[in-house]
Amino acid sequence: MGLIEAIILSVLAASTPLLLAATGELVTERSGVLNLGVEGMMIVGAACGFGGAWLSGSIIVGALCGMVAGILMSLIFALMALGLAVNQVATGLALTILGIGLSGLIGAGFVGERITPAPHLHIPGLSDIPLAGRILFGEDGFVYLSIALVVGVWWFLYRTRAGLILRACGDNHVSAHALGYPVLRIRLYAVMFGGACAGLAGAYLPLAYTPFFIPGMTAGRGWIALALTVFASWRPARLVVGAYLFGAVTILQLHAQGAGIGIPSQFMSSLPYLATIIVLVLLSRARTGGSTAPAALGTVFVPDR
């Protein structure tokens, strides 16, 4: 296995949880809701996903448990932010605190256990093609699922009527409501989709990445996913670029160290964050006429009667 191929494979795996969580958050935000609780939903998804897989012996059951846990967490958020019109920033942060606590309580039962990680695909013939074979056909299923998910989301947002309505809710909920669309219900579905994705992203960590559960194992990836959504200026295609770019910088700085390039590791570690800021500034600069953020993002909506 060549070095380049190996690096690409590591980047694919490292980017997958980011991509999954960020895709969910993108849909949520496109509907006009800012859910900062991604980290909380992810870590509960990780605990429940591992628990499910450990008890059932099935990775798929584990992944489903993670998604259900993420949805349940997102419903708490929806109840607060949509049902009671509470400030979304505060609710999201509270959700993260709650999630960290809950995951510790849930996970206490199976700390120290291990499972067999999700298998890497192997399609005879295809997976054996040099270079491209392993990358295109030889990683674990979640990697390809995450890409399929982004494509699906792109198609939904830009090619379906429902997607158009969802974007309308995010851009101007008053008009969407006036046109007779159930703004709150649409947002509820979007928030639940975000929860399912975050739960799955969390579950990916103990199911495929490092097959055991440890409290706090998401280690801030939920926050990165949030950042990626903004970085991608709420566009699925840019999200893919952003997630892989972030994964690549993370992995490459490890490789640079291993190769003995003597730059302080703190500087290398800060590169992804600085790069994100610079790219964001450049992107914002290149755009004329304001931001592409959903116009109603983060604002509460209470239908008039």
Partner 1 sequence: MKRTLFAAAAILLAGCINSGAWAADKLKVGFIYLGPVGDLGWTYQHELARQALVKELGDKIETTFLENVPEGPDAERAIEQLVRAGNKLIFTTSFGYMDPTLKVAKKYPNVHFEHCSGYKRDKNMSTYSARWYQGRYIQGLIAAKMSKAGVLGYIGSFPIPEVVSGINATMLGAQTINPNIKVKIIWVNSWFDPGKEADAAKALLDQGADMIMQHTDSPAAMQVSSERGKLAFGQDSEMIKFGPKAQLTSILDTWAPYYIERVKAELAGTWKSEDTWGGLESKMFEMAPYTNMPDDVKKMAEDTQAAIASGKLHPFKCPVVTQDGKDVECKGGDHLEDTQILGMNFYVKGIDDKLPGK
Partner 2 sequence: MQLVLEKRAERSATIALISPLIAIGLTIATLCIVFAVLGKNPIAALAVYFIDPLTDGYSLQEIAVKATPLVMIAIGLSLCYLANAWNIGAEGQFLIGAVAGSWLAVKTQGTDAGHWVLPAMLVLGAAAGALYALIPAICKVRFGASEILTSLMLVYVADLLLDYLVRGPWRDPQGFNFPTTAEFDPVATVPTLIEGGRLHLGSIIALFVVAAGAVLLGRTIKGFEIRVVGAAPRAARFGGFNANQLVLLTFAISGALAGLAGIIEVAGPVGHLQPGISPGYGFTAIIVAFLGRLNPIGILIAGLFLALTFIGGEQAQIAMKIPLDVTKVFQGILLFYVLACDSLILYRFRLISSSPKVQSGAH
Q: Which residues make up the interface to partner 2 (CB under 8 A)?
A: 76, 80, 83-87, 89-91, 93-95, 97-105, 108, 174, 177-178, 180, 182, 215, 223, 226-227, 230-231, 264, 266-267, 269-270, 273-274, 276-277, 280-281, 283-285, 287, 290-291, 293, 302-305
Q: Select 34 or 106, whichever has its Cβ closest to partner 1.
A: 106
Kindly state whether residue 271 participates in binding partner 1, applying the rule CB under 8 A: no
Q: Which of 1, 4, 66 is nearest to 74 (CA)?
A: 66
| 221-231 and 3-30 helices, crossing angle to 10° | 70
Kindly state whether residue 130 participates in binding partner 1, applying the rule CB under 8 A: no
Q: Select 32 or 247, whichever has its Cβ closest to partner 1.
A: 247
Number of helical (H) and strand (E) elements in the chain, helices listed first: 12, 0
Q: Which of 31, 81, 5 is nearest to 193 (CA)?
A: 31
Please identify which residue in 124, 180, 264, 289 interacts with partner 1, judged by CB under 8 A.
264
In order, the DSSP letters of 178-215 are HTT--HHHHHHHHHHHHHHHHHHHHHHIIIIISSS--T
80 binds, among partner 2, partner 1, none (CB under 5 to 8 A by kind): partner 2
> What stretch of H or E contains 240?
helix 236-258
Query: By three-state DSSP, how is residue 259 classified?
Result: coil
Residue 41 burial (10 A CB sphere; 0-12, 13-18, 19+)? buried
Instruction: Compute how many other C-beta atoms are within 10 angstroms of the C-beta atom of residue 171.
Output: 17
Q: Which residues pair with 120 in a beta bridge?
A: 140
Which of these segments, 19-27, 79-87, 156-164, 209-217, binds partner 1 (CB under 8 A)? 209-217
Q: Select 159 or 161, whichever has its Cβ closest to partner 2.
A: 161
Query: Pattern of binders to partner 1 over 92-121, x per CB under 8 A?
Result: ------------x--xx--xx-x--x----
Q: Which residues pair with 140 in a beta bridge?
A: 120
Kindly state whether residue 290 participates in binding partner 1, applying the rule CB under 8 A: no
Q: Select 67 or 248, whichever has its Cβ closest to partner 1.
A: 248
- Maximum CA extent, the chain: 67
Kindly state whether residue 262 participates in binding partner 1, applying the rule CB under 8 A: yes
Give the binding site for partner 1 (CB under 8 A): 1, 3, 6-7, 10, 14, 104, 107-108, 111-112, 114, 117, 205, 209-212, 214-217, 219, 221, 250-251, 254-255, 257-260, 262, 264-266, 269
